[in-house]
Each structure stands twice: as structure tokens, then as C-alpha cells.
Amino acid sequence: MSNDTPLVIAGREFGNRIFLGTSSYPNLQIMLDCVEESGTEMVTFSIRRMDLEGHAESPVDLLDGYHFLPNTAGCETARDAILTAQLAREALETEWVKLEIIGDRETLYPDVEQLLSTTEELVKDGFTVLPYCNDDPVICKRLEDAGAAAVMPMGSLIGSGMGVANPANIELICRRAEVPVVIDAGLGTASDVVQSFELGCDAVLLNTAVAKARNPVAMARAVRHACEAGRAAHLAGRIPKRTHAEASSPQMGLVGS
């Protein structure tokens, strides 16, 4: 879009605003095809679930040229998350990390208290931290103040496909944030992507919505178009919502009036 500007996180520019996860695809080739069709420049994966020993071909090898965002999925304590981030830095030579610390196994809600303190600690250690958090404007602001390079509020429960459960909160987070807002978790289809951008999000992170679609490659293509449409609509500016009708054609000078 000619009237748009690149997404910038921690000084790095991205021409595409979709971040794509690499797990749960039917097979490796479909994952690679989805990455290509989505147009993404940023791929994320769980360090705790990846073989970094070099015994077999891994997504790291196959996705050379993409920006890697390792995540701490599966961590339930600050200690585990910090060790996982340090492992990713050593193995992949990247300071970037998507920080996840889960506080409840049923809902997979983040542990906010540990998330804040761990963000501060990792930032002090030189990491570029993108924390996954709940859709709370106060928490997002505190994470920003702790040094997060972007905030990643949940749309709804991880893997649920319920879309944006609380659009009012997401819109408020976007309006107040001074760092990029990347909606993460719960998106289920292209229309959820459009809504996320219309609310003001700077990017979206998808995994299950693409990987578990009936046709993952077609869904990857759909969300790429949805990203473009939603972002363009946000920049264009929607009309105000009204509780009454307002004719789109003039009322004066009509035939018979």
C-alpha cells in the first residue's frame, strides 16, 4: 500500500505484517508452502519443542532468510523462560524472543506477575522481548514500560479460533501503545485478521488458524489478503456508527419534491 509505512520493531523494518507460527501443520512441506503464501517475513517456533542438535533437517535450516522469533511456549516459571531464551540466543544467534509464561494449564492464560518481572530481566540482558499477554490495557502499558519492544495481547484463548473476544480492549490498547501491538492467539480465519487491523493492531501472529484449516495453503493466502484489506481500511478510516438512518443521497431537489 503506497500510503502505508513499514512496520518497525526494535529498529527492524518489516514489509509484511503477518507473523506465522510453524507448528501443527499436516507436514513440513505444507508449512513451507504456507510461509511462502502468507508473505510473512517473521516465523516463530517453540525452542522447547525443537531439535537444535542438528540430527535432522529442521525449520531453522529450511527457512533460511526469514526472521526467526523463538518463543518460550511451555514455560510456567520465570526461571524456565529465561533459560529457554538464553538457549535460543546461543543456538540461533538472535536476541529476539517471544516471551510466554503460562499461569493456567486449562486456559493457557499468561502469568502476568512473572511476565512483567521476566520482561524486565531479559531486557536488561540485551534481549528484544515481545511478551504474550492478556488483553488488559494496564498490563500492556506496564510491559511497555518494562522495555518490551512490542506487546502481544491475546485475541482469545490460544488455539480456540474464537477471534477477537474483546475488541473494545484491543482498540484501547492500540490507541494507547507507543510500541507496536501484535495480536496473538485465538484468531480463526481471515475476517478475524481484518478486524484486528481495523481495530488498530500493527501486526497479527497466526498459527492454528492456518495450520489446522481444511486447506492451510489457501488460508495462508487468504490471511495475506485480509492483512492488506484490514490495514488499508484502518488507514482509510471507517465512518462513525450511528443509531439512526442517514440517507446517502441528498434530500433536496428530488423529482416531485
Q: What is the DSSP letter of 146?
A: T
Q: Does residue 71 have a known ligand-binding role?
A: no
Beta-bridge mates of residue 8: 13
Longest CA span, the chain: 83
Handedness of CA 59, 115, 157, 83 (dihedral sign): positive
Q: Please report, to the nearest 10 degrees, the dihedral formed by the alpha carbons of residues 113, 146, 128, 3 taken in order.
A: 120
Instruction: Tell me: is residue 236 an annotated ligand-binding position.
Output: no
- Residue 15 assigned ligand-binding role: no
- Is position 215 annotated in a ligand binding site? no
Nearest of 153, 161, 167 to residue 190 by alpha carbon: 161
Q: Rounded CA gap, 9 and 22, in Å?
A: 21
| Cα(194)–Cα(187) distance, integer angstroms | 10
- Whether 91 has a binding-site annotation, put simply, is no
CA 16 to chain CA mean position, Å: 12
**Distance separating alpha carbons of residues 216 and 46, to the nearest angstrom:** 20
Active site residues: 98
- 130 phi and psi, to 5 degrees? -120, 95
Length of the chain: 257
Annotation: binding site for 1-deoxy-D-xylulose 5-phosphate: 159, 185-186, 207-208
Q: Binding-site residues, please?
A: 159, 185-186, 207-208
